[in-house]
Amino acid sequence: MASSTSITGLFSRLSLLSRNTTTATMKTATTTPTPRLFSTTSSFLARKAPPPASGGSAPKAARRNRQAPKSENFFRIRTLRRNMFSPAPPPLRMARLRYLRHWTIHRAWQLFRRKQHEAIDKERSRMHAGMYNACEELRKTVGPGSRGEGYLYRVAMEKKGVYGLEGVPIEYARFQTDSPAKEAWNHEWKR
């Protein structure tokens, strides 16, 4: 009994809802007779429709614009605008032997880069292996004095103070340069 009443009530509510919505859409359709627009953003709606092309108001506005004072960047902009659309140069054309030479140069460069990368890889893995072996030996070491096995290793693995602002001194952030400084090294540095 209760279930049946609830179901009917629900149906009635549904029908009410649908009736309300249909009336609302009908109202809006009647109040706005303009055709549907692609964009309904506020700025677009605020824009006025263009005036009919019969009056002489549009050319007047253009003349007013032309008489406006030139901006300070006028000449710069003119130079840029004149040269912005310079035609693109033609693609590289090479004869057969010239192209073969180009291809050979390209392949040689790829080979060169490959060798460099492999050397870098090898160097890094060698340095890592050195560290790994040292740490492995340290792990099996009975520490200084009465310390137990692996104590030094545990301390070495700690990262306290390694990172952060104080981690790397600013003097270390020196770039390598093509030519040395006038005084290449400060031998007289004193603490």
Q: Would you count residue 41 as binding another protein (CB under 8 A)?
A: no
Q: Would you count residue 114 as binding another protein (CB under 8 A)?
A: no
Residue whose structure tokens are 């032997």: 97
Q: In this structure, what DSSP letter does residue 51 have?
A: P
Q: Residue 35 or residue 169: which is nearer to another protein going by CB? A: 169
Q: Residue 52 or residue 145: which is nearer to another protein going by CB? A: 145
| Nearest-angstrom CA–CA distance, 9 and 16 | 11
| Nearest-angstrom CA–CA distance, 96 and 102 | 10
| Nearest-angstrom CA–CA distance, 115 and 122 | 10
| Nearest-angstrom CA–CA distance, 183 and 112 | 35
Q: Residue 17 or residue 168: which is nearer to another protein going by CB? A: 168
Q: How many CB atoms lie within 10 A of CB 151?
A: 16
Site for another protein in 63-92 (CB under 8 A): 79-80, 83, 86, 88-89, 91-92
Binding site for another protein (CB under 8 A): 79-80, 83, 86, 88-89, 91-92, 94, 98, 101, 105, 108-109, 112, 119, 123, 126-127, 129-131, 133-135, 137-145, 147-150, 152-158, 162, 168-169, 171-172, 174, 176-182, 184-191
